Structure 1
Amino acid sequence: MSTSDNWRKSSYSGGGDGNNCVEIADAPDHIAVRDSKAPHRATLTFPSTAFSAFVEDLKRR
């Protein structure tokens, strides 16, 4: 997955340098997640449908 220019951080990532959050990159069939403090380390990848369901569940809480 080539996402180097597709990473984005939440607007809720906090003050200061804003690196207290995760970043996501999306593609048509999957979402990648990485630690914004260590962007060159490993990423987690999820099917788009599973990630969307996860986010919707978070919104309901």
Structure 2
Amino acid sequence: MEATSVWQKSSFSGNEDAPNCVEVAATAGTIHLRESEAPHTELSTSPAQLAALIRSVKSPTGHRTEAR
């Protein structure tokens, strides 16, 4: 990922120095995720795939939903 990308933490993560947070950054057409305790390990996905994951996690039945 580009060094100029800005990583952001959720406001639910507590203070800025909290070590157990998921961080997110975006570049052209790609979403990057990492664990703050392991910042050199990164997962990359598309916005549509991440949206599908979030919909699935939020689903009361827990069933997979298709990306749109």
One-letter amino acid of the counterpart of residue 2, structure 2:
S
Higher radius of gyration, 1 or 2 = 2
1:27 alignment partner in structure 2: 27
5+ long unaligned stretches in structure 2:
61-68
2:54 alignment partner in structure 1: 55
1:12 alignment partner in structure 2: 12
Q: How far apart, CA to CA, are the structure 2 residues paired with 1:52 and 1:18?
A: 25
Moved over 4 A (4+): none
The answer to whether the Cα contact below 8 Å between 2:19 and 2:36 also exists between their aligned partners in 1 is yes
Give how far 1:56 is off. 3.2
Q: Decide which structure has greater strand share.
A: 2
Equivalenced residues, count: 60
Q: Structure 1 pair 29/12, CA: closer, same or farther in 2 (3 Å)?
A: same
One-letter amino acid of the counterpart of residue 55, structure 2:
E
Overall identity of the aligned pairs, in %: 35
- Give the aligned CA root-mean-square deviation in angstroms: 2.3
Higher relative contact order (CA 8 A, sep 6+): 1
2:44 alignment partner in structure 1: 45
CA deviation profile, 1:8-43 (whole Å, cap 9, x unmatched)? 01111146932211101012311111111121x220
Q: How far apart, CA to CA, are the structure 1 residues paired with 2:27 and 2:6?
A: 9
